[in-house]
A and B are shown apart, each in its own frame.
Chain A
Amino acid sequence: MMQPSAIRAIPRGNGPISIAHLVLRNSVWILLITLTLTFGVINPQFLGLTNLINILFQGSYVGFLALALTLLMISRNIDLSVGSTLSLAACLAVGLQPFGIIQAACAAILVGIALGSLNGFIIEKTGIDSFIVTLAGLIGIKGLVFLYTKEETIASDSSSFVDFGSSYVGPIPTIALIFIAVGVALNFVLRSTRHGREAYAIGGNRSAAENAGIRVSRHVTINFAVSGGLAALCGVLMASQLGAAAPTYGQNYELWAVIAAVIGGTKLTGGYGNVLGTIGGVLALAVLRNGMNMAGLPAFYVFVVVGLTLIGALLLDKFGSRQTQ
């Protein structure tokens, strides 16, 4: 079977793999290592195990959304509503706690899945572009959040809910571990299942995929449901760690998630991308935030560096792959 990663733009010839190929294929890891080493030189504490684990933990929130977007972007869709879904799920997970903590968390995740499915359903039934549908969803779901919370922050009364969010499994925070588990699962889906192969096929050429007998509508709707579910899971975990839920949670997270996925090599034009690259992108962003923070730079320099990195990644992708072909 053809591995999805083999269907990339850079041809795998019989000759020796050139250095340019290696650099281009792994540019996100080179970025990650360069950033890590730079910040390590500036501040040796940065490379301490506690801090590295902390980075993994800090990255995992954007990570959940970036994983969802990877799945969608491979099949040439986008979900801009993940940030709003995240905040709705966070508010529901705290607000519904009178019905029991587990019930509240499950309800929040189910609402996320339902909203994702609704997005997918609208996209496939009406034929409106996913960008517009989820842009509308971003605005509308934010309205739902405010409607539910009445603009207030809701604090959680349950200590076990809060304990879960700040718990550790060995040295690793539970939330980071869940992120890794979701990543492994999604990686398996994309690489080794029919659903994953079909995602690449749909992203590569949708009408060809339809003609080949792939049930594209069902496939896309499922992906949006997964996206909504992951965003909601992320919201529940965030509420659990912070012990409260505010309507502002998740604001602009969809942008960070798109950035992470794109730096990780996923293309908005569909057909390309993998979980490992996205995790690399997520970690690079987290390293950037953490490292600049530890270097004593104000938080807003991160915005500038992220903007420049993103443009750099695009340029590298564009002109690097042109040279090697």
Chain B
Amino acid sequence: MRRSRPDIGLITEIALEDERSRMNGDHMLRWFSNISRNLGVALPFFLFVLAVGLLEPHFLTTTNIAQVLRQAAVPGVIALGVLFVIIAGRLDLSVGSLLSFTTVIIVDLHDKIGPLGAMAFGFLAALLVGVLNGILIAYLGLNSLIVTLAMLSLLQGLTMIYTGGTNVDIARPEATWFSVIGKGYALGLPIPILIVCFVSAIAYFLLHGSVFGRYVFATGGNESAAYYSGVDSRKVIAGCYVLSSFSVAISAVILSSRVSGAQNDMGAGYELTVLAAIIIGGASLLGGSGAVIRTLGGVMLLGFVTNGLIFLGLPFYAQWLVTWAVLLLSVWADVATRRGTVFT
């Protein structure tokens, strides 16, 4: 027994030393690897944007950039919400269907009860879905992939039952202030971009500056450790799903205002685009890592690449091939940096 005590002391000493060197000496290295991790995705992206800009002068005009950012607003806001779920170590595949559902509700109710009432019902519906997801996944402990997959199917069906399978639209979009949200300008910028900035600021504060944000990272990093540290991970996870649905409702307002109409499947596929953007932004599907700014970077990357490829005269599906490569390479760069080796 006596011999084991100095050993423990030694181990503690080594651990402390390790911790210290990580704090001081290796700080530069970690900082450098962080930079290279960001640059790994960003550098080719900037080169691409620059190249397209040189080839096609219209690509880097303010009109086009504003157009790309305006279109990126819808996936951008959703990505910020889903980011919380991903950091908490869960998945949300229901956002695409939820976007269809909420957009259809808002557009359909707009002419019936006015824009404010329509938005209220849209938000209510989305929050209900978020709470339901939260209860099933956080409190009943069900697998998030399957629950949100079920919700994807359920909401797709509900949307079509609601509309009877037909498209809905706002009869006179030019006569309502509602269309200003998606199409208008304020402070010289398109309003959707301002909304994204506003939502990003809130998301940034929530994730990187609040207790809730730290709990989200703790839950995703090590759920049982978080639990034993007094974090109510169930409440945190449920909160993430509510945030995710809330962001979908905001996007639905932007989308329905911009398009003034809604098809039953207009949100289909958004769950994958958003997930791709978040992953390109460096979040791990295992949870515990992710950042607001980098997620926005991922969304903009996909937006500009899509737009740039179309500018180069390539068909729209070229973006899918590029997404394939970008997604794999960015995650590979991330995984390889963490592991310290390129291959397993």
Contacts and interface: CB of A to CB of B under 8 A. Distances in A.
Chains A and B bind each other: yes
Contacts of B318: 143, 147
Contact of A255 (B152, B279, B332): B152
A140 B331 contact: no
Contacts of B323: 136, 139-140, 143
Contacts of A306: 150, 153-154, 157
Interface in A109-132: 122, 124-129, 131-132
Nearest to A259: B149
A35 interface: no
Interface residues of B, number: 45
A306 to B, nearest CB: 5
Interface stretch (B64-72, B138-146, B199-207): B138-146
Contacts of A128: 328, 331-332, 335
A140 B319 CA distance: 9
Interface residues of A, number: 46
A53 B327 CA distance: 43
B325 interface: yes
B327 A139 contact: yes
Interface in B226-268: none
Given A133-B328, A135-B327, A139-B327, 14 more contacts: A126-B344, A127-B336, A128-B332, A138-B272, A140-B324, A143-B320, A147-B315, A255-B149, A258-B149, A259-B150, A268-B146, A301-B157, A307-B153, A311-B136
Interface of B: 136, 140-143, 145-147, 149-158, 160-161, 165, 272, 275-276, 279, 285-286, 315, 317-321, 323-325, 327-328, 331-332, 335-336, 339, 343-344
17 contacts: A126-B335, A126-B336, A131-B285, A132-B279, A136-B328, A138-B272, A140-B320, A142-B320, A143-B318, A147-B317, A147-B321, A255-B152, A300-B165, A301-B161, A310-B150, A311-B150, A315-B140
Interface of A: 122, 124-129, 131-133, 135-144, 146-147, 150-151, 217, 255, 258-259, 262, 268-269, 298, 300-308, 310-311, 314-315, 318
